[in-house]
Amino acid sequence: MKIDLPLEVYYTKNKKFILNLNNYRNAHYRILSNAKKIYADNLVDRISYPTYKEPVVLIYTYYAKSRRRLDVSNPCSIIDKFTCDALVKAGVLEDDSSKQIKQVIYKYGGIDKNNPRCELEIAASQQQKKYLPVND
């Protein structure tokens, strides 16, 4: 199952919050709170997934707008934070703790000038082994 996630949130008509660690670190708490609520509300409206009661792996694939240098964990860490809270609110996950989310993976998907985004794939515990490192 995949969900397309936005890279920014308009918290007023003309002002947007770009989801990355630098903006998160520097934003006022009211802007963060408002952006997080809007993000969650928009995502909850688009989600029609079952509830996962078993452990899951979250795989985020980031598609950039340009060839500009990118630290994938910079936007993905905040997208992950906002998305996990929205998934709990939507009832897709019971909890966003390590009890249910066993692994989070950030991947670079390449450049998509027309549709920059982050895709989330939720893998249930049966598929979990293909993502976890094998210890011999």
The whole-model pTM stands at 0.86
Question: What CA–CA distances, in Å, run from 112 to 8, 42, 83, 108, 115?
Answer: 16, 22, 21, 11, 5
- CATH architecture for the domain at 2-130: 2-Layer Sandwich (3.30)
Q: Is 68 left (phi over 0), alpha (psi -120 to 50) or beta?
A: beta
pLDDT tens digit sequence for 6-65? 999 999 899 999 999 999 999 999 999 999 999 999 998 888 777 888 999 999 999 999
Ranges of each domain in the chain: 2-130
pLDDT tens digit sequence for 66-96? 999 999 999 999 999 999 999 999 989 999 9
